[in-house]
Every structure is written in C-alpha cells, then in structure tokens.
C-alpha cells in the first residue's frame, strides 16, 4: 500500500481553498488542480509499505500523537515551487510558521526513521499543494492571482489529530482512504 501521514483539513478551509482554485481556474488544461477531498497537509510520505510495516507505523503515530498537544494551524499566503518561476511545477498555499507543527513533524520523522523509513533530505516547508503544472501555456493570470494573494489568509483551525492515509493512484488522479487517526493531547 502507498501511504503517508498528514493533517486533515476542516471543511470550511477546504471550501475556502476550492473557491480560490475556482477564482484562478479559467479552464487552463495545463494545471491539474487538487480535488477538495485530496486537500491535506502532508507531514511524511512513506510510499509503498507492507501490511506488517503499516502496523508498526500506526504504533509509532499513536505514541507520537499522545505526547503532543493540539495546536493552531494558520493558512496564509501563496507561492510556487520553484519560487518565482515563470513555469512553476507546484502551486501552493502557505502555512504560518509554527513551533508545534515543526515539533510534531520532527518527532514523526525521527520515530519513523527508527523503524527504517529514510529521513527526508529536504528542509520541511509546510504548504498545501493546490495544483500541479503540466505545461507552460497560459499561466500569466494564475501567476498574477498568486502574486496578489501572497499575504492573504485562507483560514485557521485547531489540529487535534494526525491521520495515516492510503493513496490510491487512478487515471483521474489520486484518491485517499483513511487507515488510522491518532489524537493529539
């Protein structure tokens, strides 16, 4: 099974983000927008994992979550990867700097490394991917809208749990199934 650890977003935030996508989407076929059900904040992508290993992952997440308090997550700003590119690969919404989010991410990263999952080599840059750019055509209006919203707030929520998801790849895009939820303190 292809799995990852993430924070599920509240319905209101997903609605805000969906409205923002609609504002940017002018039928541009060069961008594959994230569907509402696929909106989440990924903490750790684990990839193909056996059933036995998934049981270990669930145990690690249960302990990590039980030792961390709930915290506020604030979605603010827009950007792209690579930054300032004329033809970006990813369009994203930012997450305001948050020590509690960094702490739970670091804990999960370290604890999963102990059960032989490799550590991510890139620095953790919390964001929500909104779209994946497939080609360079007609991105001007999207880039302009992103620029106008670099400091815009898109919602806030209290994070009370972390979720282990299965990612099911389909021709129409990935679909996600919840494998387990782990409550924070």
Taking the domains of the chain in order of start, what are their residue ranges? 2-183
Structure tokens at 39: 């909106």
- Tell me the pTM: 0.92
pLDDT at position 171 is: 87
Q: Contact, 128 vs 16, CB < 8 A? A: no
Q: Is 127 a catalytic residue?
A: yes
Which of 159, 182, 47, 23 lies closest to 101, judged by CA?
159
Helices 51-66 & 99-114, crossing angle to 10 degrees? 140
When mean pLDDT is compared across 5-9, 32-36, 68-72, the lowest value belongs to 32-36
Structure tokens at 140: 């001007």
Candidates 105, 113, 125, 127; catalytic one: 127
Cα atoms in the 13 Å half-sphere on the side-chain side of 74 = 10
What is the DSSP code (8-state) at residue 86?
Answer: S
pLDDT at position 138 is: 78
Q: Is 125 a catalytic residue?
A: no
First to last CA, the chain: 29
Which residues is 168 bridged to in the sheet?
A: 175
Structure tokens at 10: 């509240």
For domain 2-183, is the CATH number 3.90.1140.10?
Answer: yes
Q: Tens digit of pLDDT for each residue in 120-145?
A: 999 999 999 999 998 877 788 898 99
DSSP SS3 for 175 = strand
Candidates 40, 68, 105, 182; catalytic one: 40
């Amino acid at each position: 099974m292809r799995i990852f650890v993430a924070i599920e977003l509240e319905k209101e935030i997903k609605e805000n983000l969906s409205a923002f996508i609609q504002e940017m989407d002018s039928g541009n076929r060069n961008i594959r927008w994230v569907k509402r059900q696929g909106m989440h904040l990924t903490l750790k992508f684990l990839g193909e994992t056996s059933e036995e290993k998934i049981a270990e992952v669930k145990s690690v997440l249960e302990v990590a979550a039980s030792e961390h308090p709930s915290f506020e997550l604030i979605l603010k700003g827009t950007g792209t990867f690579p930054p300032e590119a004329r033809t970006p690969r990813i369009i994203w919404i930012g997450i305001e700097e948050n020590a509690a989010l960094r702490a739970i991410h670091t804990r999960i990263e370290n604890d999963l490394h102990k059960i032989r999952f490799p550590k991510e080599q890139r620095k953790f840059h919390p964001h929500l991917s909104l779209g994946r750019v497939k080609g360079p055509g007609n991105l001007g209006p999207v880039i302009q809208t992103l620029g106008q919203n670099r400091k815009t707030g898109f919602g806030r929520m209290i994070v009370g749990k972390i979720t282990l998801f299965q990612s099911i790849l389909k021709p129409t895009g990935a679909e996600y199934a919840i494998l387990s939820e782990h409550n924070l303190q």
